[in-house]
Amino acid sequence: MEGSIMSYQLFSSNHLLDSRLDRAWLNIPLLHCHPCPVVLFLAYFTLQVIYARRKHKISPPQTTGHPEFERIFRAQVNCSEYFPIFISLLWVAGIFFHQGVAAACGLLYLYTRFKYFQGYAAAAQGRLRPLYASAWLLWLLLGLAVAGLLAHFLLSVPSTWLAALARPLQLLGAW
């Protein structure tokens, strides 16, 4: 019991985890909504693969066969591969930069991924425009996350020149 209290005291006294970060976990209702649509999208994409398997009589674990099935299968796998990156960037950008901006980027990302899936299922060329849009949104979320992290850590250091460097980040909305 005493060891757990001491480890909590050590964890909570860490100078990098200040009260702003502690409060940030409680004040992010927009970010709390994103995992549900992500799970629904993944379920929808998986069901489309199941329907395509049945339609073209392709049994698991086979991943080749009719071109329509292969496109649907690849679209589902591609979306599944990028969702962990998306969720990570969304949360970091939302906590350290601004939850409203991150949530808006997140909704746009989900929309472009849905359009990507539909376009890829119809034809391989149909995936390109939504693919570029979703990649751009991931880069934007990465930029927001980096700006927020820089502002958070530079503003917590009591140095005037570091604070001067962080001032433009503060004006952008990060903290």
Is 54 one of the catalytic residues?
Answer: yes
| DSSP-based three-state secondary structure for 160 | helix
Which of 23, 54, 129, 167 does the annotation list as catalytic?
54
Is 129 one of the catalytic residues?
Answer: no
Contacts of 6 (CB under 8 A, 6+ apart): none
Helix or strand (DSSP H, E) at 19: helix 19-24
Which of 53, 71, 113, 127 does the annotation list as catalytic?
127
Q: Which residues of 1-39 are buried (b: 16+ CB within 10 A; e: fewer)?
A: eeeeeeeeeeeeeeeeeeeeeeebeeebebbeebeeebe
Catalytic residues: 54, 127
